[in-house]
Amino acid sequence: MSHQKIALEDLNAEQEADALLAEEDAAERSKRGEHNLSLEDLEASESLPPPIQAIAAERPKLHPAPVICIWIFLSSSVIVMNAWILKDLDFPYPVFLTTSHLLYASIGTRLLLRFTHLLDGLKNIDMSWDRWLRNIVPIGALFSASLIFSNFAYLSLSISFIQMLKAFTAVAVLTMSVLMGLEKFNQRTATIVCAISFGVALASYGEVDFALSGFLFQTFGILFEATRLVAIQKLLQGMRMDPLVSLYYYAPVCAGLNMLLIPMMEGWAPFNEVLEKVGPATLFVNMNVAFLLNVAVVFLIGCASSLVLTLSGVVKDILLVTGSVLLFGATVTGTQMLGYSIALAGLVFFKTKPEDLAVYLAQARALVGR
């Protein structure tokens, strides 16, 4: 079985799920002696580590089609709903909204541990207070910073443009991996970096409603996310966690850090306005959708092939860009579509292992030759 890192960096759990899948990918590469980090999502495809294979083997095999559809629906719903709350409902407090998701996830994972077998992977983790302080807290802090900066971008940029910018996360991870000696800069890496960079630059050039503040927020969010993924490779070698187990450890750390930041960054206004502008029902649904996304990821990584997951991620991103235009009236120019297409092609190459890509190309040539 294989999985992919699914891409999304919204204040939602989608980025949480995406990032957590990347952790598994990094751990599996370490186990095999490889050092290439991957994303998104933004989205690499690798074998599940042994603990996850054992857990997945105990569950009935699910057909990938409905699971992928549910994942696309939940991940897209979280992004659209968050954008609707932040902009249309005039509730510009992304740190508060992120914190509510993380607090709910902290409670939810503990309830799942008590009443289900979805967190049986905790039995494979030897977590001491010393390891928690040295490994979990620093990575949780980077995760929190990534969420905060990325979430603020939604206040001034469109969903479609943010989706395009997030393609650059792969470049940031590759570049930082090379600088840290975890990745060798070869011809394939150079081609991917150039293709994605050119595509994102072209998409940015074609953005009609470009906002420098939002662009900088998203850039910092990407840099913190890349740093977090490299830190995972350095700090969590030998610790293989599935998405819900990772969320079990990281959600309370991130929620605690964010709660300290709310009074400084947003004051008491979100507490005074949340019931009036958002309402308890809307907030409850929003938190549940965000949490269910993480649960869906657990089943997603165990029932579909790498190629199917990669193509599903591309379809999801295209649907989000299209939805941003139809639901929020965002403007997407021809220049942006060209740039984003180039960046997506680079991401597909990045997420597909060279040996698998060679097989697919050979099959394609065989079909054309017939």
Indicate if the pLDDT at residue 103 is higher than 70. Answer: yes
pLDDT in tens, 27-82: 444 444 444 434 333 333 322 333 333 334 444 556 778 888 888 899 888 888 88
Spacing of C-alpha 80 from chain mean position: 15
For the chain, percent of residues with pLDDT exceeding 90: 20
| Residue-averaged pLDDT of the chain | 77
pLDDT at residue 273 in the model: 95
pLDDT in tens, 109-122: 999 999 988 888 88
pLDDT in tens, 262-293: 999 999 999 999 999 999 999 999 999 999 98
Q: Are 18 and 41 in contact (CB under 8 A)?
A: yes
Q: Which residue would you say has higher pLDDT here, 83 or 38? A: 83
User: Poorest-confidence range of 87-91, 147-151, 299-303, 323-327?
Assistant: 299-303
pTM of the model: 0.74
Q: Are 64 and 303 in contact (CB under 8 A)?
A: yes
102-105-106 Cα angle (round to 5): 85
Q: Which of 126, 127, 109, 105 is nearest to 118 (CA)?
A: 109
Angle, helices 212-235/169-179, rounded to nearest 10 degrees: 50
| DSSP bridge pairs for 43 | 40
The one-letter amino acid at 286: N
pLDDT in tens, 162-193: 888 888 887 888 888 888 777 777 787 788 88
pLDDT at residue 119 in the model: 87
Mean pLDDT highest for which of 133-142, 143-152, 277-286, 290-299?
Answer: 277-286
Strands 2-4 vs 45-47: parallel, antiparallel or unpaired = antiparallel
pLDDT at residue 370 in the model: 55
Residue with tokens 């958002």: 278
Indicate if the pLDDT at residue 248 is higher than 50. Answer: yes
